[in-house]
Structure 1
Amino acid sequence: MAILKLKDLSKVRRWHPDKKIVFCSGVFDLTHAGHALFFEDCKRHGDILVVVVGADIDVRKYKGKERPILNQHVRLKMIDMLKPVDYCLLGSPIKKEGLIMPLRSMVRRLKPHIYVVNEDAFNIPARRQFAKENNVKLVVCRRSCPPEFEGISTSSIIEKMERIIKKRPYKNTGAPIGITEGGRVF
């Protein structure tokens, strides 16, 4: 398991010339069992799993100004620590050309065999076309998990936390309640 820089992405193919390389991307905020199951599914399609973690600026664009909950460095480190993941890297910020442009750059460097997305990923037709143009097999995974994991998602975790906070308002005791990206206590 290793965190890569974009410039090192092309080396993965040289390091593993006889292995099938699988590529996926996402936000992966508040890493949970659903993410781990997705990575296990991805890994079943090949030998080496490379995961791209979305940049904070893009997450805010697509999920709202309060997201991500965890910054890109924390999310990247969490993904790096998961067993099925061989390599991960921070995604390039999405420009006005849209999501596919940064992916194109990464796929051209990595030359993966397989690109995996969840069935609820946005714009699957564009991803399908992108995979075809780049000679990469697209695999659309159905979300399937054991009953004890049903309903787990980052959004559901956030909603549950919001409900708990609304039910039990905390008194301002002056005690710190969190740490910002810069390490400041608030």
Structure 2
Amino acid sequence: MKAKSKILGPRQLKKWVETARKKGQKIVFTNGCFDILHAGHVSVLEFSRSKGDLLVVGLNSDASVRRLKGPTRPVNTQADRALVLAALESVSAVCIFNEDTPYNLIKLVRPDVLVKGGDYKPSEIVGREFAKKVVRFALLKGRSTTNIIKKVSK
């Protein structure tokens, strides 16, 4: 399967999810900016995929990343970030969202499992009410896009 075919708009994603559910497949959802892909990202994506049959990744749009991370971010465009994510074996589908949180996307997907980083308290996890189960992932220490940018900028 070509990576580009895994990048879906909300309407396409809704149909994709319906088809997967009819097949009895367990859908996992996670989200993030995934600006500069690193080992921490790969770890959370592989962990997420291990929790079900299919992994949907909600990807913050460029505008959303700027609002959350500041005017110098993202480093890579949403199209490039989506393509890199979609090329990973663990990722089944990628959908870009413009809001600051993936609330509406999680509501659309209604995942069997919602995965979020361990830096979030369960009560802070957006969209948890739409998931059958919420799982937190212990982040890899020292792995972050911000740290990579700081290293490169020195």
| Helix, strand or coil at the partner of 1:9 | helix
Task: Using structure 1 for the length normalisation, give the TM-score.
Answer: 0.73
Aligned CA-pair RMSD: 1.8
Of 28, 53, 62, 1:56 maps to: 62
Query: Which has more radius of gyration?
Result: 1
| Helix, strand or coil at the partner of 1:69 | coil
- TM-superposed CA distance for 1:84, in Å, is 0.2
2:13 alignment partner in structure 1: 9
Distance in 1 (CA, whole Å) between partners of 2:107 and 2:39 is 30
Query: Is 2:139 the counterpart of 1:111?
Result: no
1:155 alignment partner in structure 2: 146
Q: What whole-Å deviation, never above 9, does each CA across 1:58-77 have from its counterpart, x for those lacking one? A: 11111111011111111111
**What amino acid is the match of 2:15?**
K
**What amino acid is the match of 1:125?**
S
1:21 touches 1:46 (CA, 8 Å); kept in 2? yes
- Deviating more after overlay: 134-143 vs 25-34: 134-143
Query: Is 2:137 the counterpart of 1:138?
Result: no
Task: Using structure 2 for the length normalisation, give the TM-score.
Answer: 0.87
**What amino acid is the match of 2:13?**
L
Percent identity for Structure 1 against Structure 2: 30
1:5 touches 1:89 (CA, 8 Å); kept in 2? yes
1:81 alignment partner in structure 2: 87
Would you say how many aligned residue pairs link Structure 1 and Structure 2? 148
1:13 touches 1:111 (CA, 8 Å); kept in 2? no
Distance in 2 (CA, whole Å) between partners of 1:116 and 1:65 is 28
Query: Unmatched 5+ residue regions in structure 1?
Result: 145-149, 164-186
| Helix, strand or coil at the partner of 2:51 | coil
**What amino acid is the match of 1:4?**
L
Distance in 2 (CA, whole Å) between partners of 1:137 and 1:162 is 40
**What amino acid is the match of 2:130?**
N
Aligned pair in 2 of structure 1 residues 55, 124: CA closer, same or farther (>3 Å)?
A: farther
Query: Unmatched 5+ residue regions in structure 2?
Result: none
Distance in 1 (CA, whole Å) between partners of 2:138 and 2:40 is 12
Aligned pair in 2 of structure 1 residues 157, 104: CA closer, same or farther (>3 Å)?
A: closer
1:41 alignment partner in structure 2: 47
